Amino acid sequence: MTYEKKVSICMMIKNEEKNLHRCFESIKPVIDSGLAELIVIDTGSEDRSIEIARQYTEKVYEHPWTNNFSEMRNISISYAKGEWIWIIDADEEIENPKEMIKLFKNDLSKYNTISVKIKNYMKTPVVDKETKYAISNFNRGFRNTVDFEYKGAIHNQPMYKNPILSTNVIFGHYGYIWEDKEFVKKKFDRTAGILKKELEKNPENIYYQFQLAVSYSTLDIEQGLMEISKAYELVKKLPYRERGKYIYVHGTYAKIASENRKHSEIIEICKEGLSITQDYIDLWFLLGISYSAINDYDNAINAFKEYLKCNDRFEKTLLSKDPALTFYYFDDETKELALYNIASIYVKKKEHDIALEYINMMKSSDLKSVAVINLGICENMEYVLSDYFKEIYKEEDIRLKFINTFENQRLTIEQKMIFSNRISDFYSINGEESDSYYLLNLIRIHISNDKPLNEDIIEEVLNLNYNELPYYYGDIIVYIIMNDLPIDSFGYIGSVEQVNEFLKYAINNYENMHEKIIHYLYKNENTEHISNLRYWIVLARHVLLAEEMNYDKHMKLFERYVDNGTCYIKSIYHPNVLKEELIYDVKNDEHRFFLFLLKANKVKEKNMKEYIQYLRKALKVYPMRTGIEILMQEIENDHSQSNPEMELLKKHLKDNINLMIETNMIKEAEELIRQYEEIIPEDVEVLLFKSEIALIKLKQLDGSGILN
Q: Write out pLDDT tens, residues 270-300.
A: 999 999 999 999 999 999 999 999 999 999 9
Q: What distance in Å separates the CA atoms of residue 520 and residue 536, rounded to the nearest whole number?
A: 9
Q: What distance in Å separates the CA atoms of residue 579 and residue 576, rounded to the nearest whole number?
A: 5
Q: What is the pTM of this model?
A: 0.75
SS3 call for 576: helix
pLDDT in the model for residue 130: 65
The bridge status of strand 326-327 relative to strand 36-42 is unpaired
Q: Residue 362: pLDDT above 80? A: yes
First-to-last alpha carbon distance for the chain, in angstroms, is 80
Q: Residue 31: pLDDT above 90? A: yes
Confidence of residue 372 (pLDDT cuts 50, 70, 90): very high
Q: Write out pLDDT tens, residues 541-581.
A: 999 988 888 888 998 999 999 999 999 999 999 999 999 98
Q: Which of 231, 235, 277 is nearest to 256 (CA)?
A: 231
Q: Write out pLDDT tens, residues 75-107.
A: 999 999 999 999 999 999 999 999 999 999 999
Q: Write out pLDDT tens, residues 133-158.
A: 889 999 999 999 999 999 876 667 89
Q: Which of 187, 257, 200 is nearest to 228 (CA)?
A: 257
Enter the DSSP assignment of 454.
P
Confidence of residue 705 (pLDDT cuts 50, 70, 90): very low
Cβ(33)–Cβ(101) below 8 Å = yes
Identify residue 221 by its one-letter amino acid code.
I
Give the mean pLDDT of the chain.
90
3-state secondary structure 489-542: HHHHHCCHHHHHHHHHHHHHHCCCHHHHHHHHHHHCCCCCCHHHHHHHHHHHHH
Cβ(122)–Cβ(133) below 8 Å = yes
Confidence of residue 308 (pLDDT cuts 50, 70, 90): very high
Report CA-CA distances (Å) from 162 to 54, 114, 147: 35, 9, 14
Q: Which of 555, 521, 550 is nearest to 538 (CA)?
A: 521
Contacts of 195 (CB under 8 A, 6+ apart): 154, 208, 211, 212, 215
Q: For 5-173, CATH number?
A: 3.90.550.10
pLDDT in the model for residue 62: 96
Cβ(439)–Cβ(460) below 8 Å = yes
